[in-house]
A and B are shown apart, each in its own frame.
Chain A
Amino acid sequence: MCRLALKTAREPFSPYEVLTAMEAMKEGYDGSGLGLLLRGMEFEDFKYNPRFPILSGIAHTEKAWHRMTDYMEEMEYELKYDHRFAMRPELIEAEDRYRYFMRAYRMPVEFRDESDELREAELLRARLALRKLSTEEDPLTIFSFYPDVAMIKEVGWPMQIGDALCLHDGQLKSRVCMAQGRQNTNYGINLYACHPFFIQGISTMTNGENTAFVPIRDWLLGKKFAGYTGYQSDSEVFTHILHYTLKKLKLPLQAYKHIITPLSNAELAKHPQGEFLAGLRQVCKRLIIDGPNAVIGTLPDETSLLVMDQKKLRPATVGGRDGVWAIASEICGIQAMIPDRDPSLDFQPMREHTVIIPPHRKELEIWSQYDRFPLALAA
């Protein structure tokens, strides 16, 4: 089973801290991999401008590396920073790892003054085009291409991967870090199948299994949106549903819970906006999940969230204090990340809750599905 850890703090911290939480929860997974997402980046040797998109991934061979760099040059992305990991390659299980990269670019001139929407569309296009450059002989894996976000995924025990990439050396810090400790062993090892998943700044990771995967995937594919692709893992749809809710339907974050785990008829009958929510449930019926899942996510504005499946079939806890918060699938994970908090204030969300850690990180918002829905049109 997956183990999940997220830490968010006003002051950037090393991803190694989150890896210690993964180590604390070691009993619960098989050491088959690590997925890491960093947001709110800080590099020791570079003053990073958070408008620069960061391309992160793995060039498995030299040829793949050149194919990637050539493409970026051809598309007129100007390289501003190329992060070099101090590597200990002997700790990496896999052999075909020519180079892990995290490269900050300045976007081509024509996009500099464009709207965020157009810039995001271009970054998505470029990421998918880069993914397509991968070949059987020279694989290229692209995890994310977005401002202020970097990702690493690798096979092996999380701590071992952290040591291999020397993540403890303080070269790399972030204000948000998500980690997940398992490859997707449901369907065979594939780096793309490892959580967290990413699309246009939105990322989620999940423990458990998505039993409604196929109907949800089929529906998302029917939307004909280029980014709704991949699906090497059944959990990738959680990220895409969140993306669809926020970016396509432009609904507030609270709608996510109503879409994936809508209230029952009896509950909606008592809800102040029952009629609207019943309609929403119906039009988004194919996006209903069954769990068992806890979904942990982060948004481009550094908001973090945690929601449970409708029956709360998976555990997850949130804890912390003003300025620093952690979400983990196990309490020992929280303890490892923020030992100096008041554990009596830890919160375990129930089936109806959405836990939101806003960017100011002062306090948690615990929003219940039974509460009034914060949307003018539903009034």
Chain B
Amino acid sequence: MVSVRSVSIGPSSLTPSDLPWIIEHREDRCTLCGHCTAVCPKDSIRLAHMRQRMPKLDILSKQRGSEYRTFTGIRQETDSAKLCIGCGMCSMVCPNEAITPIPGTNENRTLFFENRKGEPKKRGGRRNATGPTLLDRIMFHRISMLTDPALDAGRHEFTTTTTLGRILSPEEFLERTVSGGWIPPTREIFPFVIGSMSFGALSPNMWLGLLQGVAYCNEVLGLPVVMCTGEGGCPPWILRSKYLKYIILQIASGYFGWDEIIRAIPEMQCNPAAIEIKYGQGAKPGDGGLLMWHKVSKLIARLRGVPEGVDLPSPPVHQTLYSIEESVMKMMQTLSMAFHHKVPVYPKISASTSAKSVLNNLVRNPYAAGLMIDGIDGGTGAAYNVSMDATGHPIASCVRDCYLDLAKQGKQNEIPIFAAGGIGKNGNVAQNGMALVMLGASGVHIGKYMMQAAAGCLGNEKNRCNVCNLGICPKGITSQNPKLYRRLDPDKVAERVGEVFMSINTEVKKIMAPLGRSQSLPIGMSDAIGIADQAAADRLRIQYIC
């Protein structure tokens, strides 16, 4: 039967109550200034002219009893391309508290239509799972009450750094010291590392703000914080600056940015903190980087050596490599050699049940400086929703298994394990990080938390905002559009970076002090943690407490 064309309702027509975020607009407060419509990154709201009937009761008149008035107000779009993302920029700019998005409590019907043109949903952010994470539920319970005078987190001296890099066994170290052999390079760093977010995924203001903050942490606060570039290199002037020592350069399957890096090597004033070889990412295992064309600006195109405005999907694997063993042999050795064996080189993999095999390969490779494991709750600038929500492995048990495996071989001090993925997801960054340290990690990488804490990223796990992939970041954090990123003041980002790391450092001490630990990071101190979940306690081989 031919459809009734006069009814303008299609299969994917929606009403505002079907939407994940509903704009609540109070016409009585609105001054029609237009700030909200101008700032909305998705054009979800528009100024609309509407007509209203004004009934008039006049029994004596022969005229019809109604009059009409026209007025201007705000209306929400229901087209799925223009769905409100709940970022709340409208309410941030509204001078009169007239507008705000509220989460739709009805079924989220839009989910059924986010595959238009056959393209599944892509987004930024991380796994949309809310509530306390397993790490949030871990408690530090081995309080030193028996014989200790408690340590004073405020006044006692604490060592809160960790080692990045291959560490020899004591016997081997002494033997090489005597014989003048090669002692692998190491770095003493703050155990919370700003995780890999590329210059490309992040706006120039955000990236430089982070670097400025990192430099402040190192040079003024005395906290040896380092940050990782992610795939895509970094600005040429930084490669030739003294700030390079605070940077972990990442090489990933697209090799973006490495032309610039290789060219800069002879002119480098100092070595980078380390080289991270990305084989996998927790948020989207099996995918490479995915920089969408919206974000490939002139500057990014230059740094990456590509034309402007094209999608840059990195291949899922390093095309030149056949297996991780081969990779361990070739890439690590090559990169180590490129920096005269003076820079630690380590791989980053997705958390997986096969992580232990990778680790065992690394143990046998003298150039492997560590292993970075990224769990399913890690963030990303762009990925398919299904990868982000359902593909991957949580970080806690993966790190624990790897640590116990190393301990069995007596190698737990030799290959540091770094963990990432969901640290600080609910704001408990120091608690989450230290829980992982006590499970066996030497340190953690934090990315999304930094965006949220240092730059006010609006994304969350209720699918708020999460449009990093589109280059329309309302805060200017993940956009390459100067009109957007000029909203972000790099100085303010730097200031926040300093505040965040000072506060993490204090919280780390506050965790260590009652446990009676101060001289070294309590890596693998599993007797200090417990959880009120028998199954998790058994799996992680920690105490069940209730």
Q: Which residues of A contact B (CB under 8 A)?
A: 1, 186, 207-209, 211-215, 218-219, 221-224, 244, 248-249, 251, 261-262, 264-265, 276, 279-280, 282-286, 288-292, 310-311, 313, 377-378
B 494-515 to A, binary, CB cutoff 8 A, 1 in contact else 0: 0000000000000000000001
Q: List B contacts of A213 (CB < 8 A).
A: 527
Q: In the complex, A286→B105 CA distance in Å? A: 52
Tell me if B147 and A222 are in contact (CB < 8 A): no
Tell me if B178 and A377 are in contact (CB < 8 A): yes
Q: List A contacts of B167 (CB < 8 A).
A: 282-283, 285
Q: List A contacts of B67 (CB < 8 A).
A: none
Name the residue of chain B whose CB is nearest to the CB of A284. Answer: B170
Q: List B contacts of A208 (CB < 8 A).
A: 147-148
Q: In the complex, A310→B156 CA distance in Å? A: 11
Tell me if A222 and B520 are in contact (CB < 8 A): no
Given A222-B411, A292-B147, does the pair A211, B168 have CB atoms closer than 8 Å?
A: no
Q: In the complex, A290→B521 CA distance in Å? A: 10
Nearest Cβ on chain B to A200's Cβ, whole angstroms = 17
Contact of A279 among B142, B183, B408 (CB under 8 A): B183
Q: List A contacts of B174 (CB < 8 A).
A: 249, 251, 377
Identify 10 residue pairs between A and B in the complex whose beta-carbon atoms are under 8 Å apart, listed by A's number.
A208-B147, A208-B148, A214-B527, A218-B412, A244-B170, A262-B519, A282-B186, A283-B167, A311-B151, A378-B177
Name the residue of chain B whose CB is nearest to the CB of A288. Answer: B520
Tell me if A186 and B146 are in contact (CB < 8 A): yes
Tell me if B515 and A286 are in contact (CB < 8 A): no
Name the residue of chain B whose CB is nearest to the CB of A225. Answer: B410
Tell me if B163 and A285 are in contact (CB < 8 A): yes
Q: In the complex, A284→B168 CA distance in Å? A: 9
Nearest Cβ on chain B to A197's Cβ, whole angstroms = 17
Q: List B contacts of A292 (CB < 8 A).
A: 147-149, 516
Tell me if A211 and B516 are in contact (CB < 8 A): yes
Q: In the complex, A311→B411 CA distance in Å? A: 29
Interface residue range, chain B: 35 or more
Q: In the complex, A282→B519 CA distance in Å? A: 12
Tell me if A283 and B524 are in contact (CB < 8 A): no
Nearest Cβ on chain B to A334's Cβ, whole angstroms = 22
Tell me if B159 and A264 are in contact (CB < 8 A): yes
Nearest Cβ on chain B to A223's Cβ, whole angstroms = 6
Q: In the complex, A321→B301 CA distance in Å? A: 79
Nearest Cβ on chain B to A15's Cβ, whole angstroms = 26
Tell me if B177 and A285 are in contact (CB < 8 A): no
- The answer to whether B144 has its CB under 8 Å from any CB of chain A is yes
Q: In the complex, A219→B407 CA distance in Å? A: 7
Tell me if B410 and A215 are in contact (CB < 8 A): no
- The answer to whether B241 has its CB under 8 Å from any CB of chain A is no
Name the residue of chain A whose CB is nearest to the CB of B442. Answer: A285
Pick the most buried of B142, B149, B178, B518: most chain A CB atoms within 10 A of its CB: B518
Tell me if A285 and B147 are in contact (CB < 8 A): no
Q: List B contacts of A261 (CB < 8 A).
A: 519
Kindly list 13 other residue pairs between chains A and B, CB separation below 8 angstroms, not including A212-B525, A290-B519: A209-B144, A211-B517, A212-B519, A213-B527, A215-B523, A219-B412, A249-B171, A249-B174, A283-B167, A283-B168, A286-B412, A288-B520, A310-B157
Given A215-B524, A377-B177, does the pair A223, B410 have CB atoms closer than 8 Å?
A: yes
Contact of B519 among A209, A244, A251, A310 (CB under 8 A): A310
Tell me if B409 and A222 are in contact (CB < 8 A): yes
Tell me if B163 and A311 are in contact (CB < 8 A): no
Q: List B contacts of A284 (CB < 8 A).
A: 170
Tell me if B517 and A290 are in contact (CB < 8 A): yes
Name the residue of chain B whose CB is nearest to the CB of A245. Answer: B170
Tell me if A283 and B169 are in contact (CB < 8 A): yes
Q: List A contacts of B526 (CB < 8 A).
A: 214
Pick the most buried of A211, A244, A292: most chain B CB atoms within 10 A of its CB: A211
Given A222-B408, A282-B186, A292-B149, does the pair A211, B515 have CB atoms closer than 8 Å?
A: yes
Q: List A contacts of B408 (CB < 8 A).
A: 222
Q: In the complex, A52→B448 CA distance in Å? A: 67
Given A209-B147, A215-B524, does the pair A311, B412 have CB atoms closer than 8 Å?
A: no
- The answer to whether B327 has its CB under 8 Å from any CB of chain A is no
Tell me if A211 and B148 are in contact (CB < 8 A): yes
- The answer to whether B173 has its CB under 8 Å from any CB of chain A is yes
B 399-433 to A, binary, CB cutoff 8 A, 1 in contact else 0: 00000000111111100000000000000000000
Nearest Cβ on chain A to B403's Cβ, whole angstroms = 9
Nearest Cβ on chain B to A325's Cβ, whole angstroms = 26
Tell me if A222 and B410 are in contact (CB < 8 A): yes
- The answer to whether B188 has its CB under 8 Å from any CB of chain A is yes
Contact of B407 among A207, A222, A289 (CB under 8 A): A222
Q: In the complex, A311→B168 CA distance in Å? A: 28
Tell me if A280 and B148 are in contact (CB < 8 A): no
Tell me if A288 and B519 are in contact (CB < 8 A): yes
- The answer to whether B20 has its CB under 8 Å from any CB of chain A is no
Q: In the complex, A251→B177 CA distance in Å? A: 13
- The answer to whether B522 has its CB under 8 Å from any CB of chain A is yes
Q: List B contacts of A311 (CB < 8 A).
A: 151, 156-157, 518
Nearest Cβ on chain A to B141's Cβ, whole angstroms = 13
Q: In the complex, A190→B186 CA distance in Å? A: 42
Q: List B contacts of A378 (CB < 8 A).
A: 177
Tell me if A218 and B527 are in contact (CB < 8 A): no
Name the residue of chain A whose CB is nearest to the CB of B518. Answer: A290
Q: List A contacts of B518 (CB < 8 A).
A: 290, 310-311
Tell me if B409 and A209 are in contact (CB < 8 A): no
Given A283-B170, A284-B170, does the pair A224, B163 have CB atoms closer than 8 Å?
A: no
Tell me if B149 and A280 are in contact (CB < 8 A): no
Given A285-B520, A377-B178, does the pair A222, B412 have CB atoms closer than 8 Å?
A: yes
Q: List B contacts of A282 (CB < 8 A).
A: 163, 167, 186
Contact of A313 among B149, B527, B528 (CB under 8 A): B149
Nearest Cβ on chain A to B506's Cβ, whole angstroms = 18
Name the residue of chain B whose CB is nearest to the CB of A208. Answer: B147
Name the residue of chain B whose CB is nearest to the CB of A309. Answer: B519
Name the residue of chain B whose CB is nearest to the CB of A250. Answer: B174
Q: In the complex, A84→B219 CA distance in Å? A: 69
B 149-182 to A, binary, CB cutoff 8 A, 1 in contact else 0: 1010000110100010001111111100110000
Nearest Cβ on chain A to B177's Cβ, whole angstroms = 5
Nearest Cβ on chain A to B359's Cβ, whole angstroms = 15
Q: Give me the 10 closest cross-chain CB pairs, A-B, nearest first.
A: A222-B410, A211-B516, A288-B520, A283-B173, A214-B527, A283-B170, A209-B147, A215-B524, A286-B413, A377-B178
Name the residue of chain A whose CB is nearest to the CB of B514. Answer: A211
Q: In the complex, A372→B454 CA distance in Å? A: 45
Q: List A contacts of B170 (CB < 8 A).
A: 244, 248-249, 280, 283-284
Name the residue of chain A whose CB is nearest to the CB of B527. Answer: A214
Q: List A contacts of B520 (CB < 8 A).
A: 212, 285, 288, 290
Given A311-B157, A377-B174, does the pair A218, B407 have CB atoms closer than 8 Å?
A: yes
B 522-546 to A, binary, CB cutoff 8 A, 1 in contact else 0: 1111111000000000000000000
Q: List A contacts of B148 (CB < 8 A).
A: 208-209, 211, 292, 313
Nearest Cβ on chain B to A377's Cβ, whole angstroms = 5
Q: In the complex, A222→B411 CA distance in Å? A: 7
Q: In the complex, A223→B171 CA distance in Å? A: 11
Tell me if A285 and B413 are in contact (CB < 8 A): yes
Nearest Cβ on chain B to A279's Cβ, whole angstroms = 6
Tell me if A219 and B410 are in contact (CB < 8 A): yes
Q: List A contacts of B522 (CB < 8 A).
A: 212, 215
Q: In the complex, A282→B172 CA distance in Å? A: 12
Q: List A contacts of B146 (CB < 8 A).
A: 186, 209
Tell me if B188 and A265 are in contact (CB < 8 A): yes
Tell me if A280 and B524 are in contact (CB < 8 A): no
Tell me if B519 and A280 are in contact (CB < 8 A): no
Q: In the complex, A248→B413 CA distance in Å? A: 17
Pick the most buried of A1, A283, A284, A289: most chain B CB atoms within 10 A of its CB: A283
Q: In the complex, A222→B414 CA distance in Å? A: 12
Q: In the complex, A316→B293 CA distance in Å? A: 69
Tell me if A214 and B525 are in contact (CB < 8 A): yes
Tell me if B147 and A1 are in contact (CB < 8 A): yes
